[in-house]
Amino acid sequence: MRIPAETIYPRTGDRQTVYLRAVVHGHNISVGDYTIYNDFVRDPVEFERNNVLYHYPVNGDRLVIGKYCSIACGAKFLLNSANHTLRSLSTYPFPIFYEAWGTPVSEVSSAWDNRGDIVIGNDVWIGYEAVILSGVHIGDGAIIGARAVVTRDVEPYTIMGGVPARPIRKRYDEETIQRLLALRWWDFPPEQMRKCLDALEQGDLQALEQMAGV
């Protein structure tokens, strides 16, 4: 089930929290169902302009966010144009200013290093003012601490914190993680989710598996 485009606010009277899928329309940005963004400083509807940074069409890079993610106020996603190239002897982006320096416009993208897409899994919680850099992949069920700067990939169900962010601990033991990854509860249809909410919220994985027919 997809969130209808007109359904922006999950709660009556709350204009600080939005279903992100309903307010993001830009090129190369994909957001899964029920993912939310909360912003008590700026209008959360302006997420794409205020939080997805250095995302220029010339690169073709993507921001992919899964289902049921929770993104806190001020979290930022820095795409590839933020990375001034280290291949040059200077970090100054000469190719961008091709009119001044006579460089071919076709070389604009050589002004920065392309590290790839940002891919966020399902059920990921990204804390207050965290920063996710280009090329980073964050696994399902991970937690990114407040004001963490994530410079490398994050394994599923791992809690990360710090600058640069480092693993603090796993949320569960490896067997439980593998069972959750196999279950993929975030793909349940809404009718099934409603029946499973109690088991999910109580942390009863066995009951959740039984309801899913595992």
**% helix, strand, coil for the chain, step of 5:** 30, 20, 50
What is the three-class DSSP state of 101? helix
Helix (H) or strand (E) holding 21: helix 20-23
Is 84 among the residues known to form the active site? yes
**Residues 6 or more apart whose Cβ sits within 8 Å of residue 121:** 66, 137, 138, 139, 140, 141, 142, 156
CA distance 112 to 96: 10
Please measure the distance between the N-terminal and C-terminal CA atoms of the chain and give it in whole angstroms: 22
Q: CB burial class (10 A; 0-12, 13-18, 19+) of residue 175?
A: exposed
CA distance 42 to 192: 35
Question: Which one is catalytic: 25, 55, 84, 137?
Answer: 84
Catalytic residues: 84
